[in-house]
Structure 1
């Protein structure tokens, strides 16, 4: 497996030939009229029900059994001050509790005795602690209710008693469930629970209608999401016509959905029984690996427009690699790039919420379950939450090596440009129509397989339980981005920018616009001479080796 080890050198008065930007990328803000708007809780996250209730999980597992890890773990202790601080630092979010065992878990509110030899049970203590965690950290709450594993002859006759009992308990206790969904990845039952468990779209529509009516009767303030189908890179909903159920389910439902959601992982771990793009270092840092998300997001948008036009679109579950993430890769710096891109791309494509699997638990977690230390992509999430607002703007960038996305800032009159450089070369970026650049934040690491990152050259850390933007050194206003870096550039945008769009559009925009000639491109700083050979380099990072030590655990 490819491993790129990177070493920092002191700032130089001249860029070496090796580190010289190979060309200039021009990024143009097309308009200050938003093309999309995301929820305040756009960047959200999940804790798998196996972690919450103590089921079979991934850390230490080398393979899968019935779609699960092979290691049984104890229920997570949610009453930890450090965990609260890490969650609160990420800002407003939904917490989703779902996952494969959501369809076999037992609720304490049912009187039925589980027949399983070692049943997974959400006890009253676990349920109360979960809601206390949600309330304490001011989170929204999304819960995946049990659809159940049963013979296909019973599909279309879903029994609501267990769900009804849990909803009634929540009403009595004053617990709020903001979003309810039925079943986890119902189109993939054939893969995880056996062929005879796979529901048809027509019968599932009847069950979902019954679920919608129940939720609106017992918990009328809750929104309803569905169907949460799993999409695989290159395959989509996989086997036709057996498991591509989303469009048929939506067409056959009588009730209204508030949210149409779907699940997507750009890679699969080596544990996964179904692999269309195995998580390797080469693939994780390849821009071409990011394209499938756009194809399926557009597909969901068309289906929504046709069958449930009032519903919003959510990516209801996403992570670096299916089946727990890839060990020694999903928790490394290399796994930051897909996440930064999918946050930007998803917002541009009309996904109003992005639910990350997972907050804690698994190799793909934002927070290490055993140590409570943030993984590298926690800091991507933290900067996104601090700098990226709800309004999404259209930008143009025709450099294939650069991904660029723009949102409003957190204050009026500001915008933030996300720039992702997935190459081993520095890049010069010229920004057109953005206004005055005020601050820059750059995420880098000593190597792609590093477990620790730097923001503006400094290691991020909590001081007295907090971490703030002003904790990091200021970068110069040079228009350079480092090799393998994720950048947030903050601007006070021009009020005189000519509006090319007079009103918001319902069109789903492409993350990579069709190339066109750009005229009259003006550098952000017109009196700044563009001479790459004489511009000081901001501590360039050099590639010094291409080795096969993919197991590198560099802590630098």
Structure 2
């Protein structure tokens, strides 16, 4: 492993006086990668929610839904282009109530509030004129598209079991939609089958065996319409919360060569109105709990189809639109970057953030398209962290979390540090597993200048909250407010690497 050129992704914040300093030895084992992510690991979603969608006495979606979003906003366009490319997943709770305005579908209504329907809204429709507009937008911004299909079409509610939908999936409307998409030359990277129908479901569920049979129908449809394996969209599922028994049954029925990505959702901090979300986001033991889900999904993928991929196809720190006073702030980055790091170590190929725009948990402000703090976390990760994941160990303190990947484009390693401690800073000594006695990098947080052994070349990117306010929305990149940055060009630092207290993310 070559540690001669280390690129550091750094986000630092200091808000209180120090009470202790701890020395920590961080060891990177670079000889054998432990996991591999997709090149487009960072992903964001677009949701169907209409303006009338409300939670906790607030309605945070505005006109950010797929049918209403202004696709000509320069801020939105430039934010997506900066990723070059960004994977976007189109889906969400209402996707199983969307019909496609093509073929035999003549009436194409908007979603309407209806308390007797799933999630309080009637069936809606995607007109092909809007699909044309979306694809022009995707082409303009270079988006890699994952599209969530309606998996409840023509099914009926069970008269015996509440929430269960029964009957075979009818593929005609989806097939007509795919044929139209092909005729227009639009590119869809992958199709995901349904949304949160696994296990007990979220509002609706489908039995695992039935879902397995139906996703085989979808796979055959995709193969029929895309006979060239090189251009054939991937088939993903089940896009729900992990339930071991349900996932086992679904994969047993579907077989080994059907599902290209086993997708699941993560919302590990609870509902958005929980006043304890800020405490959970800084508690390493709480953050560690979700690792059991990652392990479970990885194990089941390896059991049934080693060549398949595990994806997090939807994730937010809090349910039902996010936490209003936390999700769009700097503090949310402690959860987000830790999830990106943890998911990658468990060989999750893609991590889709709910959402790009819309709701409280969006990467972009719903009204102005101005980036929220987590947008910069996502962009820095996308630009710096390569697909090869390396093992990292440090046993000194659970509040220090470290993730390492091979660098995205240059020789070397990209490393991210997260300091969850409220009152400690860390002197970090970084070493190679094969040469632990050699001090390759030593960080002195007391003196601003230090001896940096083994490299003259490195890049450091420090994101910090303005005036140390982690619940604020103004981000400094290497001391410069991000709203003063043009074209999202990141200025590099080549100076001392400091771990500042509570919380620090590097």
Normalising by structure 2, what TM-score? 0.81
Q: 1:444 aligns with which of 446, 457, 464?
A: 464
2:259 matched residue in structure 1: 257
**Deviation of residue 413 (structure 1)?**
2.4
Q: How does 1:28-427 map to 2 (within 5 A)?
A: 28-50=27-49, 54=50, 56-58=52-54, 62=57, 75-112=68-105, 113=107, 119-148=123-152, 150-152=156-158, 155-187=166-198, 190-193=201-204, 198-220=205-227, 221-231=232-242, 237=243, 244-254=245-255, 256-270=258-272, 280-398=277-395, 399-424=397-422, 425-427=424-426
Distance 1:188 1:100 in 2: 15
**Deviation of residue 91 (structure 1)?**
3.7
Distance 2:175 2:259 in 1: 19
Distance 2:51 2:494 in 1: 46
**Pairs aligned (count):** 445
Distance 2:62 2:362 in 1: 18
Distance 2:88 2:289 in 1: 26
Q: How does 1:427-438 map to 2 (within 5 A)?
A: 427-433=426-432, 435-436=454-455, 438=458
Please tell me whether the aligned partners of residues 237 and 259 of structure 2 are also in contact (alpha carbons under 8 angstroms). Answer: yes
**Deviation of residue 458 (structure 1)?**
2.3
Please tell me whether the aligned partners of residues 38 and 350 of structure 1 are also in contact (alpha carbons under 8 angstroms). Answer: yes
**Deviation of residue 69 (structure 1)?**
8.2
SS in 1 for 2:482: coil
**Deviation of residue 456 (structure 1)?**
2.5
Please tell me whether the aligned partners of residues 84 and 142 of structure 2 are also in contact (alpha carbons under 8 angstroms). Answer: no
Please tell me whether the aligned partners of residues 312 and 352 of structure 2 are also in contact (alpha carbons under 8 angstroms). Answer: yes
Please tell me whether the aligned partners of residues 90 and 381 of structure 1 are also in contact (alpha carbons under 8 angstroms). Answer: no
Please tell me whether the aligned partners of residues 44 and 354 of structure 1 are also in contact (alpha carbons under 8 angstroms). Answer: yes
After superposition, the C-alpha distances for 1:189-231 in whole angstroms (9 at most, x for unaligned) are: 65424xxxx3211112111111111112113410111111224
Distance 1:185 1:76 in 2: 24
- The change in CA–CA distance for 1:138 and 1:462 in structure 2 (over 3 A counts) is farther
Please tell me whether the aligned partners of residues 309 and 349 of structure 2 are also in contact (alpha carbons under 8 angstroms). Answer: yes
SS in 2 for 1:57: coil
CA RMSD of aligned residues (A): 2.8
2:480 matched residue in structure 1: 458
SS in 1 for 2:405: strand
**Deviation of residue 178 (structure 1)?**
0.6
SS in 1 for 2:240: strand
Please tell me whether the aligned partners of residues 376 and 452 of structure 1 are also in contact (alpha carbons under 8 angstroms). Answer: yes
Structure 1 stretch displaced more, 71-80 or 410-419 = 71-80
Distance 1:365 1:301 in 2: 27
Distance 1:310 1:263 in 2: 21
Structure 2 segments unaligned to the other structure (5+ residues)? 1-12, 113-121, 160-164, 433-439, 441-453
Distance 1:278 1:179 in 2: 37
- The change in CA–CA distance for 1:177 and 1:55 in structure 2 (over 3 A counts) is farther
1:543 matched residue in structure 2: none
SS in 2 for 1:121: strand
**Deviation of residue 249 (structure 1)?**
0.6
- The change in CA–CA distance for 1:25 and 1:165 in structure 2 (over 3 A counts) is same
Distance 1:176 1:478 in 2: 43
Structure 1 stretch displaced more, 335-344 or 129-138 = 129-138
Distance 1:412 1:83 in 2: 29
Distance 2:284 2:81 in 1: 32
Normalising by structure 1, what TM-score? 0.74
Please tell me whether the aligned partners of residues 49 and 55 of structure 1 are also in contact (alpha carbons under 8 angstroms). Answer: no
- The change in CA–CA distance for 1:55 and 1:8 in structure 2 (over 3 A counts) is closer
- The change in CA–CA distance for 1:138 and 1:209 in structure 2 (over 3 A counts) is same
After superposition, the C-alpha distances for 1:390-416 in whole angstroms (9 at most, x for unaligned) are: 111111111211000101113342111
After superposition, the C-alpha distances for 1:460-489 in whole angstroms (9 at most, x for unaligned) are: 23544x02222x6x36325544431211xx
- The change in CA–CA distance for 1:372 and 1:287 in structure 2 (over 3 A counts) is same
Please tell me whether the aligned partners of residues 15 and 501 of structure 2 are also in contact (alpha carbons under 8 angstroms). Answer: no
- The change in CA–CA distance for 1:91 and 1:71 in structure 2 (over 3 A counts) is closer
After superposition, the C-alpha distances for 1:72-98 in whole angstroms (9 at most, x for unaligned) are: 977111222221111122343211001
Distance 2:416 2:280 in 1: 22
Please tell me whether the aligned partners of residues 372 and 473 of structure 2 are also in contact (alpha carbons under 8 angstroms). Answer: yes
- The change in CA–CA distance for 1:388 and 1:119 in structure 2 (over 3 A counts) is same
